Structure 1
Amino acid sequence: MNARRRLLRLSRSVAALVGLSLLAACSVGPEFAPPDTGLPSKPFAAPDAGGSLTAPPDPNWWGIFHDRTLTELENQVATANLDVRAATIRLAESRFQRNVAASQQLPTLNGDAKLNRENFSQNGLVSLFAPLVPAGQNFSIQPITDYYTGFDASWELDLWGHVRRQVESADANVQSGVEQRRGALVSAYAEVARDYMSLRGAQSQLAIARDNLKISDDVLQVTQERQRSGLQNALDTENAAAQIESVKAELPALEQKEAELINALSFLLDEPPNALRSRLGAPRAIPLTPPATPVGVPSELARRRPDIRAAEAQLHEATANIGVAVAAFYPSVQLNGVAGFDSLTLPKMWWASSLQYNFGPSVQLPIFNAGRLQNTVELRTAQQQEAALLYHRTVLQAWHDVVNALTAHRLEQERNARLKAQVVHAQRALEIARSRYKQGVEEYINVLNAQRTALLAEQRLADSTTNLGLDLVQLFKALGGGWETTFPVTAAAVVK
């Protein structure tokens, strides 16, 4: 009972010491304050060529293209894309690391049980006691068995916030992982949309080339008939045949591009080559952009870009690490204790007289470390300055990305309108030239020139229509996707 009373009194003393320590606890080092982005308060561009984006749009921004196949592909990205899945695993790793750091705030307790059987050498140190034994008696020490069971505990009091700053740093690292995963998702969404737009553009180019091949073949038949009738020589026939071969020569490169884009989409969705051929091989029109697109974009929306938020979290992490380094200059106080039961006989193992323990605090104060602690603080401060510059660079890059995407889309709209008008005129000129050639009142060279002009105009219009979609995709990516605040549940469930 006396041992129990002593243990109880000691426990109360320890509790009182811990309470006073916690009341005096503080966190050294700088406190983190969210930095100013420096972005302008006004919209990035005046809404003079389209609508003004005043509220976050649907996170599923690809819906504005009204393409069911594109929507189906995008819906697979969160769970299928390898980069997104890897980012999800890295996020889980950072959460586990945070829990490891947080565990240092609590005491550690270890159980211990031992059974030792020891036999002493009769010719070792024990033999020194032989002269003390009365004459005529044999001197020997029998083997002994020692039974022990107990536990040991330790707890470092976080008086200066060393552990709290570590947890703060780990929390910021987790937040950075959250944003990096969202950034990987936004990039994958944009990449799928870009490859899909480019694929439909390549298929449109193929369709244009094949349509022009039919026109060239029709012109060749006319020239052959006129040659057989003696109305012209073989020159026009050879020129018409050469035009056919010129158009045919463009087909392999376009077919190669089509195959590469189908495989690129397959890779983005974790599929083997040609896995999506059955879904994407049939040509379809290039997805059309809406007539009124957001041009006046409030700058505050760009603040929600994942890379900006990740850079802010990394700056927070670097700031907290300074506090960890500063806390290393201060004394560390640790409470240690060992309690157990020790007996040479098992029946007496749990007797009160078998109880043994020791408790007490320990204090460690750094005195000399050859400048290691000071250089660590300087290192963490330099890393914080680097993180601040990285944040500023990320924000500035976002600003440039948004403005460039807005400018590219606006100017491409103007170019697209001019190309549409050119195609109308070029097709009319080709029809007139073909009609007059059949009537025998036009030289074939004029037909050939009109056909080449029409083909080039149609190809440029197809490229421009593709670029309109690509520019709009780039704008959504530059603004951080659909400004979503939650991650798709199906993908989030991959790693708890």
Structure 2
Amino acid sequence: MMMPIAHRRSLRQITYALGPLVLSGCINMPSVQLPSFDTGAALQSREALLAGQPALSGSRAPADWWQLFNDSTLSSLESELNLNLDLQSALLRIEESRAQLGLVDAPRRPTLSASSGYSRSAISENSPTHRLGAPTEGQDMWSLGLQANWELDLWGHLRHLSEAAQAELKAAYYGRHALEVSVAADVARNYLLLRGVQAQTSLIEQNLQVARDLVRMADSRERNGIATRFDAAAARADVAGLKARLVQLNHQGDALMNALALLLGKPPRELDERLARASLPLMPSRLPIGVPSELARQRPDILQAEARLQAAVENIGAAKADFYPRISLTGGLGVQAFNLSDLGSWGSRNYSVGPTIYLPIFEGGRLRSQLALSKAHQRHAAVAYQQTVLRAWHEVDDALGTYASELKRHEQLELAVEQNEIALRVAQRSYQQGSESFTSVLVARRNLLASQGALSDCATASALAVVSLYRALGGGWSAQWHEEIVSARQA
């Protein structure tokens, strides 16, 4: 028995604003106790977040969401996702599933085969047939014929197997697109991390120049007897620390470029020239995130889990139908003669036609065990579906929260940088006038460097929050692909 249409539609309508999850209406589907979620607080929180963040909108999330960053290099990298070896493997798994569907569908159709043969034989002089008068001389035998067979599938065993294979094919398609969503997000994430590291590198280089100027100032004041050796030593130590940090950042940048090359199926260092230092992309001014009711359609992993659940239900139907008799119609038509020249004569014809019935009587518990196994697989698939939907809900909520918090943190860090710049200017002026020690200058400069670094990290984290948000929303998934999967199933 197929999963009822209304039930399949209800699976797709599980949304971000989940009410009680209900999985029912299948063939004797075991009762699965799924929790009810209090969605009132979640919806109020989401609406408040949308109201407080002008960039967020309820319009449909774009498939090519990375273009919101308006970064040509990022868009160029995303256009090469087909080079990813994991995605190529996913395409091969689709081909395997399509071939498996062909194998499962084949027994549902009549089969026709042809045969021909020649043999020369003789019987023993001591055989009973010879004693009854059969000659012992060798004789030729020529045969030519057609055989046909068709299983009627009255109880739907083959149909259920076919439906299960079709569902597995759908799952393979959805799995490929789920992987594409993940790879696209990984490319964007590594790219933004690289730009963040490069921004930190530029910041360290700027501060390194300031630190060297402080070394020269401290040396000059020491030579003139205005400052002690401590000031010069402290300034040089500061320069060494910045250089060490620069070495670390350069290594991180190289590792991220290699990670991007691996994601795009390229050898190490091939992308280095394309990924030359550039600024971190600006935050998108508008982030369309869709509406909660579209979440189940936006995430191919949810659709994949649904397809696997449907396949598990169909396998239960196949296991139940296996308890009933199988009836096949068989037939044969051919010719047989001792001489090749006689094959065309009417008297050489032979034929057979009739039903064949297979009825399992004792299988040693195999059929019951197979049914129990199919039911266990169905329960596991139901829990996996529930887990996928629940995880999607949490990922979207966490991503929205992270995005909002990073924007607030960015505002405060901008204020901190502004105040630390003022503090450094005051400390430097006071040191030059002799009213403050060199220690106050170092403290002020280190505070400024720390706040600048935190602001740069926050800018990167804000961009990464956008990536996480669209990954959680299934960014990259398109309704056109859904039609492609439906068409592939029908074909």
TM-score by length of 2: 0.87
Q: Per-residue CA shift, 1:133-163, capped at 9, x if unaligned?
A: 9xxxxxx733211111112111111111111
Contact 2:163 2:314 in 1 (8 A): yes
Q: Per-residue CA shift, 1:271-324, capped at 9, x if unaligned?
A: 0111101111x21111121244457x5212221211111111011001111110
Structure 1 residues 270 and 378, CA gap change in structure 2 (3 angstroms): same
Q: Which of 408, 424, 442 matches 1:448?
A: 442
Partner of 1:214: 209
Equivalent-residue separation in structure 2 for 1:481 and 1:43 (angstroms): 24
Equivalent-residue separation in structure 2 for 1:436 and 1:233 (angstroms): 17
Deviation at 1:177, TM superposition (A): 0.7
Deviation at 1:65, TM superposition (A): 0.5
Superposed, which structure 2 residues align to 1:285-434 within 5 Å? 285-294=279-288, 298-304=291-297, 305-434=299-428
Q: Which of 60, 75, 80 matches 1:76?
A: 80
Aligned AA for 1:40?
Answer: A
Aligned AA for 2:71?
Answer: D
Contact 1:416 1:461 in 2 (8 A): yes
Partner of 2:261: 266
Q: Which of 42, 59, 67 matches 2:63?
A: 59
1:125 lines up with 2:130 in the alignment? no
Partner of 1:137: none
Equivalent-residue separation in structure 1 for 2:457 and 2:95 (angstroms): 42
1:257 lines up with 2:252 in the alignment? yes
Structure showing greater Rg: 1
1:232 is paired with a residue of what secondary structure? coil
Deviation at 1:183, TM superposition (A): 0.3
Deviation at 1:197, TM superposition (A): 0.5
Q: Per-residue CA shift, 1:328-350, capped at 9, x if unaligned?
A: 11111011112211011111111
Superposed, which structure 2 residues align to 1:39-58 within 5 Å? 39-40=16-17, 45-46=46-47, 47-51=50-54, 52-58=56-62
Q: Per-residue CA shift, 1:356-399, capped at 9, x if unaligned?
A: 11111011222222332223222212221221111111111100
Equivalent-residue separation in structure 1 for 2:2 and 2:385 (angstroms): 21
Identity of paired residues, percent? 34
Contact 2:208 2:239 in 1 (8 A): yes
TM-score by length of 1: 0.87
Equivalent-residue separation in structure 2 for 1:353 and 1:45 (angstroms): 85
Equivalent-residue separation in structure 2 for 1:95 and 1:229 (angstroms): 84
1:200 lines up with 2:195 in the alignment? yes
Deviation at 1:128, TM superposition (A): 5.2
Structure 1 residues 317 and 229, CA gap change in structure 2 (3 angstroms): same
Equivalent-residue separation in structure 1 for 2:230 and 2:187 (angstroms): 48
Aligned AA for 2:114?
Answer: G
Aligned AA for 1:109?
Answer: L
Deviation at 1:120, TM superposition (A): 4.1
Equivalent-residue separation in structure 2 for 1:317 and 1:185 (angstroms): 23
Contact 1:172 1:313 in 2 (8 A): yes
Contact 1:44 1:298 in 2 (8 A): no
Structure 1 residues 30 and 413, CA gap change in structure 2 (3 angstroms): closer
Equivalent-residue separation in structure 1 for 2:15 and 2:458 (angstroms): 34
More deviation, 196-205/475-484: 475-484
Q: Per-residue CA shift, 1:215-256, capped at 9, x if unaligned?
A: 000011011111111112211111111111111111121111
Aligned AA for 2:111?
Answer: T
Please report the RMSD computed on the Cα atoms of aligned residues, expressed in angstroms.
2.2
Superposed, which structure 2 residues align to 1:142-291 within 5 Å? 142-280=137-275, 282-291=276-285
Deviation at 1:117, TM superposition (A): 2.1
Equivalent-residue separation in structure 1 for 2:15 and 2:372 (angstroms): 27
Structure 1 residues 255 and 39, CA gap change in structure 2 (3 angstroms): closer
Equivalent-residue separation in structure 2 for 1:488 and 1:155 (angstroms): 35
1:480 is paired with a residue of what secondary structure? coil
**Stretches of structure 2 lacking an aligned partner (at least 5 in a row):** 19-42, 484-490
Partner of 1:89: 92
Q: Which of 439, 448, 452 matches 1:458?
A: 452
2:213 is paired with a residue of what secondary structure? helix
Contact 2:15 2:293 in 1 (8 A): no
Structure 1 residues 43 and 151, CA gap change in structure 2 (3 angstroms): farther
Equivalent-residue separation in structure 2 for 1:446 and 1:31 (angstroms): 75
Aligned AA for 2:205?
Answer: R
Aligned AA for 1:104?
Answer: P
Deviation at 1:95, TM superposition (A): 1.1
Equivalent-residue separation in structure 2 for 1:416 and 1:128 (angstroms): 105
Structure 1 residues 223 and 376, CA gap change in structure 2 (3 angstroms): same
Contact 1:43 1:298 in 2 (8 A): no
**Stretches of structure 1 lacking an aligned partner (at least 5 in a row):** 1-27, 134-139, 490-495
Structure 1 residues 468 and 30, CA gap change in structure 2 (3 angstroms): closer
Equivalent-residue separation in structure 2 for 1:90 and 1:210 (angstroms): 49
Equivalent-residue separation in structure 1 for 2:152 and 2:301 (angstroms): 37
